[in-house]
Structure 1
């Protein structure tokens, strides 16, 4: 998968990008966990999400927030990271003007940022939120949640109690005109350990149901080279 470098609000940002085969392939932007706790775009959960979207035919980008890896800048307590995510979405859209849909996904801290981006960008059609830290960060900004999506959590998460995420999912599911699914993985901790394949399969199955026109491919295909800006 080719490395890409694109301009962010506080310097250049580093990412990995897969370009979908179809000229109207949907887009997926995936966000990593907390930068100050070792989170990077190469996190195993983010990697599993990335390949689930790739297998469903999406043009897919994961990238490092400011101050992580080769991305410039420094941690900004979420506000700057939200701006980074918006710049990443802009970059993807510039290469995919005919995209049929646009999705955002994230893990832990990345899920919190992803849901904020969802509120600010009306072109986002759906989301996948894995282990959203509902016990740490405020999610009341989702009033109402503008798009349908999927929330996944592990029943043995020792960092984010499952009850706090179930409460968030229940609240969102009661809203009109959207459908929010909530699925748990039995015995999974916050990092999903040996359940990563199950996590990826759950996301891929969900996407197959809600984006049925996209044909799955048996394995990730070679990515096309893209220009760096």
Structure 2
């Protein structure tokens, strides 16, 4: 039987945040997924975000994806930085409260990769242990000094090598500059939105979520 996500609203710093939540029996963890740039049409229904959600579901994780402020039915207006990270922090707090005993995984695509990474840094400062951070074609140029990168949780970076939105060289240089251990996975002949490569993305994530 197909299990569908449940629509709900989460209390956010600028008002209610529209979300989709999936609970699973005997979950191995909880995954929060952050969507791409809202100014460029990004929402929680983006096909890469949907692939991340299904991959996490198929490996036994509770999932939560949500719309940032000003997207879909979420209250507020775009902030393009601190505001969206604060929205993600509220979503993470809701997920942790709903499943206090489960390890937390963060995933983000494009702008959402920046949001998830910035959130991971915030949570680490607060003493929250993360199981894993997955950055998918992340907007690393937004990760300035005001958004510290987490130092303790495992990090996997997935970058298409023909990305037309986030220059691969920027991501590779950013990866090279990181002093902390992390995993960089390059996807050959692949554009930013993983057209024709969503199965490849899922195949990269499945074993890393299953361990």
Tell me the secondary structure at the aligned position of residue 193 of structure 1: coil
Partner of 2:12: 8
Q: Per-residue CA shift, 1:92-127, capped at 9, x if unaligned?
A: 11111211x111110011000111101110222310
Q: Among residues 99, 119, 122, which one is paired with 1:96 in the alignment?
A: 99
Per the TM alignment, residue 21 of structure 1 is displaced from its structure 2 partner at its CA by 1.2
- Of 174, 181, 184 in structure 1, the residue corresponding to residue 183 of structure 2 is 181
Question: In structure 2, do the counterparts of structure 1 residues 85 and 163 end up closer, same or farther at CA, with 3 Å as the change threshold?
Answer: same
Answer 1 or 2: higher relative contact order, Cα 8 Å, separation at least 6. 1
Partner of 2:67: 64
Change (3 A) 1:149 1:138: closer
Corresponding residue for residue 209 of structure 2: 207
Stretch of structure 1 that moved more, 155-164 or 136-145: 136-145
Structure 1: gaps spanning 5 or more residues: 213-229
- What is aligned with 1:18? 22
Q: 1:149–1:157: structure 2 CA closer, same or farther, 3 Å change rule? A: same
Could you tell me how far 1:139 is from its partner in structure 2? 4.4
1: CA distance, partners of 2:182 / 2:53: 20
TM-score for the superposition, normalised by structure 1: 0.83
Secondary structure at the aligned position of 1:125 is classed as strand
Q: Count residues in correspondence.
A: 202
Counterpart Cα distance in 1 of 2:82 and 2:149: 19
1:215 corresponds to: none
Q: Where do 1:30-49 residues align within 5 Å? A: 30-49=33-52
Contact 2:160 2:189 in 1 (8 A): yes
Deviation at 1:144, TM superposition (A): 6.0
Alpha-carbon offset, residue 143 of structure 1 = 5.5
**Residue in structure 2 matched with residue 76 of structure 1 by the alignment:** 79
Q: Which residue of 1 aligns with 2:57?
A: 54
Measure, in 2, the Cα distance between the counterparts of 1:119 and 1:191.
26
Report the equivalent of 2:30: 27
Return the match for 2:90 from 69, 87, 90. 87
Give the distance between the partners of 2:48 and 2:175, measured in 1 at CA: 20
Distance 1:120 1:144 in 2: 8
SS at match of 2:32: strand
